[in-house]
Structure 1
Amino acid sequence: MRPPPKLAPKLILEGTRLTGKTELAFALNEHPRLVGPRKYRYHSPLISAEWCGFTNRPWGHGLINFDESEAALARETYSTWLRMFELQRYYSWLVDRFHLSTAAFQHQAGRPFDFGWIEDRLRPLGFGLVLCLREPSTFPAARAERLEVSGNPAQYDDLSVFLREQEQLRELAARSVLPVLELQVAGRSEAELAEEVADWCAASDLLGLRD
């Protein structure tokens, strides 16, 4: 009997804050339709461009919000992640915010960010984009829920920032050469959202790579 095809989905979750990307990423990283049945927990790659690793302070600069002096560092970091994906192409990778979030932030800062070269390397690896969205009217309730646990509540004072970024991300996703799923998150459980993503991956042939 031939073994079943190897599951090695590669997904980038994009979206503005308060759209549940990180919670969904954790759910997807343990979903049996994406990574197979598990009888015990083990390490599985889940990375983020939101890590603020460029400066030695909380909520400092990173791969999304770098300044002009850090542009070369950001490009090298992206190149490093891409090379890691290429070297381990037959494994699953879940990414919580990546190049579209960078392009949106840098555009607002007046520094256009070319992400074409990134997608040229992501596409042959079978990456897909999941764009997490919510209706504008649902942001206040999401903020209230987040304020109960946030260590930096001031970042949620102005919801108009998130509304603008959400529209920017939709425009950027429309320009992407990767398969894109627009996922409405408001009023839905993580399990429901994960099932929709799994259905989309199966229908889009994104569960693994063919030799």
Structure 2
Amino acid sequence: MSTNAALRPLCPKVIFEGTRLTKKTDLAFALNEHARFVGPRKYRYHSPLVSAEWSGLTNEAWGPSLISFPPEYEPTVLEAYRTWVRLFELHRYYSWIVDRFHLSTQVQQARSGHRFDFDWLEERLHPLGFAVVLCCRQADSFPRAREQRLRVSGNPAQYDDLGIFLHEQDELRAAARRSRLPLLELDVTGRGVDELADAVADWFAEHNLLKAD
């Protein structure tokens, strides 16, 4: 049965990728309440925001995640990805905001010589309308971003070597450009979260990605 386009719900599906200090998590939360992205709301209700960074594979704080894991967890990780994509398929007419996903896994695992082929995953994500927003910043802006983060970080040592983030940014950029999913490369340098959220909403509207067919 066909449905009038004006009556179809907003159900964008976005995967945020980016190294640390690129505002991707703040942006994900902002879009989760953005009227032009998920619709106007008079009160908060359940809207999923999920992440491959979750460290729930073991009973320990800051343990392995779907991105950073030892080889023995590969079967579990792949099963988790299959579970996620099946859930997305079953709820294809809902909005999904993902803060880091399979591209981060590919980049992280490639450093230890493990190449992950996620073509099968993207073949299922693509018809659902998923797109990648790669959050980047100019190299000379990382020191200032680190200063701001150190005011709230509980683990400041992880920001000692900014070269790690610059290298990861290049790796993620290469992975995103190889992806078959639509890609917005978003420069966050000197821009506030609200401005960036508007830019993402505009891009999704321009590419007809806010509603499902």
Give how far 1:60 is off.
1.4
Give how far 1:155 is off.
1.2
Q: Which residue of 2 aligns with 1:139?
A: 142
Q: Which residue of 2 aligns with 1:204?
A: 207
Give how far 1:76 is off.
0.3
Moved more, 170-179 or 52-61: 52-61
**Number of residue equivalences:** 210
Identical positions, percent: 60
Q: Give the distance between the partners of 2:205 and 2:40, measured in 1 at CA.
A: 16
Give how far 1:3 is off.
4.8
Q: Which residue of 2 aligns with 1:29?
A: 32
The aligned runs of 1:96-115 (5 Å cut-off) are: 96-115=99-118
TM-score, normalised on structure 1? 0.97
TM-score, normalised on structure 2? 0.96
Give yes or no for the alignment of 1:128 onto 2:131: yes
Q: Give the distance between the partners of 1:80 and 1:12, measured in 2 at CA.
A: 16
Q: Give the distance between the partners of 1:61 and 1:40, measured in 2 at CA.
A: 35
| Runs of at least 5 residues in structure 1 that lack an aligned partner in the other structure | none
Moved more, 57-66 or 171-180: 57-66
Quick one: which of 39, 42, 50 aligns to 2:42? 39
Q: Which residue of 2 aligns with 1:149?
A: 152
Aligned-partner residue type, residue 156 of structure 1: Y
Aligned-partner residue type, residue 135 of structure 1: Q
The aligned runs of 1:67-78 (5 Å cut-off) are: 67-78=70-81
Moved more, 141-150 or 12-21: 141-150
Please tell me the root mean square deviation across aligned C-alpha atoms, in Å.
1.2
Quick one: which of 144, 149, 166 aligns to 2:169? 166
Give how far 1:124 is off.
0.7
| Runs of at least 5 residues in structure 2 that lack an aligned partner in the other structure | none
Give yes or no for the alignment of 1:180 onto 2:183: yes
Q: 1:2 to 1:193 in 2, by over 3 A?
A: closer
